[in-house]
Chain A
Amino acid sequence: AAGVIQSPRHLIKEKRETATLKCYPIPRHDTVYWYQQGPGQDPQFLISFYEKMQSDKGSIPDRFSAQQFSDYHSELNMSSLELGDSALYFCASSFHPGLAGGRSSYEQYFGPGTRLTVT
């Protein structure tokens, strides 16, 4: 079965540089979530999009922005990178039938993550 795809898998940047992480959800999934997991930490929610609109917002720094495109893939843009941004960034996707009915997936399926190292 197709899974969530994230690219790149590894990324090394210097302080004050910018980075763009990409996420391709499972086919037919309409909701995308971004999480940040620091070393030895639990994943922290950053932001989510449902049908290309922002649906929930967590502890996302103002230096970060994200969007979901018409094909449902999403990009997380990170600017003015800091050493503390070094982490594993996960994307997850899910499906919500909304008014159309049908079975929701309820759960979020996670991608393999992008490991960002800021030096």
Chain B
Amino acid sequence: AQSVTQLGSHVSVSEGALVLLRCNYSSSVPPYLFWYVQYPNQGLQLLLKYTSAATLVKGINGFEAEFKKSETSFHLTKPSAHMSDAAEYFCAVRLRQAGTALIFGKGTTLSVSS
């Protein structure tokens, strides 16, 4: 069975500081991995995805994530936080099969202070 664990339900950083949101997964077979962002009262927007090509994946808004099989991790980073990055971030995993569901982590709320 697949699962995703996001360490830290709430992360606070200062504007300009490094953002690090942690995600660990468990899966019996190599999965696809995703990070989504959700702003209040809005839908989920895809930030980036890992589909077994490059292990370092670059996404939108300056975010990137590195797939580390040995650590079963897919942590999300951004070198310099902006106020506009404040949102809920979800890590998700799914099997490589048509029509299979995304399994989401519990989410991490990112707060950015000036």
Residue positions of A touching B, CB distance < 8 A: 31, 33, 35, 42-45, 48-50, 55-56, 58, 90, 92, 96, 98, 106-113
Contact = CB atoms under 8 A, between A and B. Distances in A.
A107 B33 CA distance: 9
Given A106-B51, A107-B46, A55 B99 contact: yes
A56 B45 contact: no
A107 B100 contact: no
B83 interface: no
B43 A96 contact: no
Interface SS of A by simple majority: strand
Given A50-B98, A108-B46, A112-B42, 10 more contacts: A45-B102, A48-B99, A55-B98, A92-B102, A96-B99, A107-B46, A109-B46, A110-B36, A110-B45, A113-B43
Interface residues of B, number: 21
Nearest to A34: B101
A73 to B, nearest CB: 16
B104 interface: yes
